[in-house]
């Protein structure tokens, strides 16, 4: 199966409708990731077919829960999930942040080559970074446990904003260890075609 067919089939299973141009741009991002990965080791996953499910479709699985105007992707690595979300939702202002220079250099270059005017890239430790404008949503896919994620990013979230933690197995222990002022609003199972593992999204708000 071609990568185009694999992406299209996965999107159908997830009930996500995207134009052929947007699908092409997602695959162009994947192409850049594959190319850079040979030199810079940006991700442990090297098989293109696996990258479709584990990177693109996994990132896009949270689309139904993205409903603000400004999104901060913390510990974004090579731009996941921030860049795929920015490709699919051009009206969304996305900041991808990581402290790894190689990974943010790639994210910056990918944003330029793909013409993503709605993406900004920051190379910094999140606890040291400040933004003049706060975010409606702060998302993390593989950054840290939820308590640490909440603690290190709360200075960046708007008063009515939420924290979106993408997790594997249902994170009972991590939820139990959240500070008292962090309220879990909801948890959602995420279905990712081609990924044979549990995925969950936890939505947290500061009281």
Mean pLDDT of all residues in 26-45: 90
Q: What is the pLDDT of residues 155-206, one digit of tens each?
A: 999 999 999 999 999 999 999 999 999 999 999 999 999 988 899 999 999 7
Which residue range is the domain that position 101 belongs to? 3-206
Instruction: Name the token pair of 23.
Output: 């699908």
Q: Does the structure show a pLDDT above 80 at 207?
A: no
Domain at 98, CATH number: 3.40.50.150
DSSP state string for the chain: --HHHHHHHHHHHTT----HHHHHHHHHHHHHHHHHHHHH---S---HHHHIIIIIIHHHTTGGG--SSEEEEET-TTTTTHHHHHHH-TTSEEEEEES-HHHHHHHHHHHHHTT-TTEEEEES-GGG---SS-EEEEEESSSS-HHHHHHHHGGGEEEEEEEEEEESS--HHHHHTS-TTEEEEEEEE---TT--S--EEEEEEE-
93 marked as binding residue: no
Q: Is 141 within any annotated ligand binding site? A: yes
Is the CA virtual torsion 39, 109, 190, 194 positive or negative? negative
pLDDT at res. 40: 85
pTM, two decimals, is: 0.96
Q: Is residue 114 pLDDT above 90, yes or no? A: yes
Residue 128 has a pLDDT of 96
What is the Cα–Cα distance from 164 to 146, expressed in whole angstroms?
9
Residue 45 or residue 190, greater confidence? 190
Report the domain count for the chain: 1
197 vs 92 pLDDT, higher one: 92
* Confidence check: pLDDT of 133 > 90: yes
Q: Tell me: pLDDT of 143 over 90.
A: no
- Sorting pLDDT into bands at 50, 70 and 90, what band is 22? very high
Predicted pLDDT of residue 38: 85
Say if CB 190 and CB 54 are below 8 A apart: no
Radius of gyration of the chain (CA): 16
- How high does pLDDT run on average in the chain? 94
Q: Is 116 annotated as ligand-binding? A: no
């Amino acid at each position: 199966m071609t990568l185009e067919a694999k992406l299209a089939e996965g999107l159908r299973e997830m009930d996500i409708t995207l134009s052929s141009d947007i699908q092409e741009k997602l695959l162009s991002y994947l192409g850049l990731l594959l190319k850079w990965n040979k030199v810079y080791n940006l991700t442990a996953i090297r098989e293109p077919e696996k990258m479709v499910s584990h990177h693109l479709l996994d990132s896009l699985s949270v689309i139904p829960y993205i409903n603000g105007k400004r999104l901060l992707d913390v510990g974004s690595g090579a731009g996941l999930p921030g860049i795929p979300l920015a490709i699919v939702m051009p009206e969304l202002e996305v900041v991808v942040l990581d402290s790894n220079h190689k990974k943010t250099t790639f994210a910056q270059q990918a944003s330029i080559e793909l013409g993503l005017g709605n993406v900004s890239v920051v190379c910094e430790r999140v606890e040291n970074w400040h933004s003049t404008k706060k975010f409606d949503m702060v998302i993390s896919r593989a950054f840290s446990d939820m308590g640490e994620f909440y603690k290190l990013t709360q200075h960046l979230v708007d008063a009515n904003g939420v924290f979106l933690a993408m997790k594997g197995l249902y994170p009972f222990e991590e939820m139990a260890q959240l500070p008292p002022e962090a309220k879990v609003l909801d948890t959602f199972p995420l279905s990712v075609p081609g990924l044979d593992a549990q995925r969950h999204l936890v939505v947290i708000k500061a009281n």
